Amino acid sequence: MENIVYLDNSATTKPCDEAIEYMNNAVCKTWGNPSSLHTVGINAEELVFSAKEVCAKAIGCRSDEIYFTSGGTESNNLAITGAVNSRAKRGNRIVTTEIEHPSVLETIKALEQKGFEVVYLKPDNNGKVSEEAINGAVNKNTILVSIMLVNNEIGTVQPIKAAAKAIKAAGAPALLHCDAVQGFGKINIKVNELGVDLLTFSGHKIHAPKGIGVLYKKKGVNIAPVIFGGGQQDSVRPGTESVPLIYALEGAIRALPNVEEANKKMQALCDYAKEKLTATETVSLNSPQDAIPYILNVSVLGYRSETLLHFLDAQGVFVSSGSACSKGKLSYTLSALGLDSKRIDSALRISFSRDNTKEDIDKLCDAIILATKKLKRA
């Protein structure tokens, strides 16, 4: 698709040239089963090892702490269910937030139905959970704390280090899981500094193809497997590894720009978008000032999100009304912030990548202004 303005990068990103090159190399030249003991299999296994090294370097861990999955949803399910099942005899409490991704919340709700006690922490008006709330929720009966690094709808960064301190202070047997799907590649992540036991991210948010995710599991931490098979990946996530997707992820990570330099560019782009959008009387900002610059949530007051999306689509401008997994439902994240239903029903999530330019923002703003002139107010 040419001559489009794609601003839905939190839903997915366009695969970069490096990822496609690496994937094609694995498909066409290194197509063996990495568990096979002959040369063709060993060559494929070497690509898997190479990708593990690159992933490990990116988050400051050992390569044998990296496990490949089919994506962020599977990684989150495996981390949460595996952690809880492995520690069920040591406690019964799970601590999370009201604004986690559905792959976290739905997994935890399923565990809640099995009898586990769940504490859902409410964020403040900026979408951030307080350290005091975390400290108050974690006790000696807590076996898992799961808090996202960056919220996928408004871009708020959560206090993960505070959660690690709370677990230690309470003397809890809890493992700390962090969903870093929206943070990986945008924030400098070092797992030891965060204090996490489990961390998850996904390839298609950083210009790799869909279908590849990562679970970091700290050495010495045991989680119960949720699927069973031939013993690949230490039986943590068995099954024949998808070498093309794994190697494509390596290509995408190698192509990531320096985080500090990228964030300067992205902050300038986000600030430009805020300035242009708020110059329109109908637009209000929902993302907090300290959100990461890759995500900007706004409301075009008086106009329903779904109607706006279709209008912008016709102009070749692509944004979303919230999480791609919400399927058009009102955002529970914005509801947790205390926003009224009309403001939530008019919300748009604009999410940037390194491919976006100021010209994209100009086209977005022109399309929104045109929408407010042509569409009937709700």
Residues forming the active site: 325
**Cα dist from 171 to 97, 141, 149, 195, 274, whole Å:** 21, 9, 23, 15, 44
Phi-psi map region of 14: left, alpha, beta (phi>0 left; psi -120 to 50 alpha): beta
Token output for 211: 């279908």
Beta bridge partners of 351: 8, 295
Q: Can you tell me the distance from the alpha carbon of 86 to that of 222, in angstroms, rounded to the nearest whole number?
A: 7
Closest by CA position to 299, among listed 220, 237, 368, 356: 368
Among 285, 219, 230, 319, which residue's Cα sits nearest to residue 4?
319
Alpha carbons 289 and 73: distance in angstroms, whole number: 28
Angle CA 293–296–297, to nearest 5 = 155
119 Cβ neighbours under 8 A, 6+ residues apart: 93, 94, 95, 96, 137
DSSP 302: T
Q: Rounded CA gap, 303 and 249, in Å? A: 39
CB 152 within 8 A of CB 119: no
Task: Report the distance separating Cα 347 and Cα 357, nearest Å.
Answer: 22
Burial 37-57 (b: 16+ CB within 10 A, else e): eeeebebbbebbeebbebbbe
Crossing angle of helices 39-59 and 243-254, rounded to 10°: 40
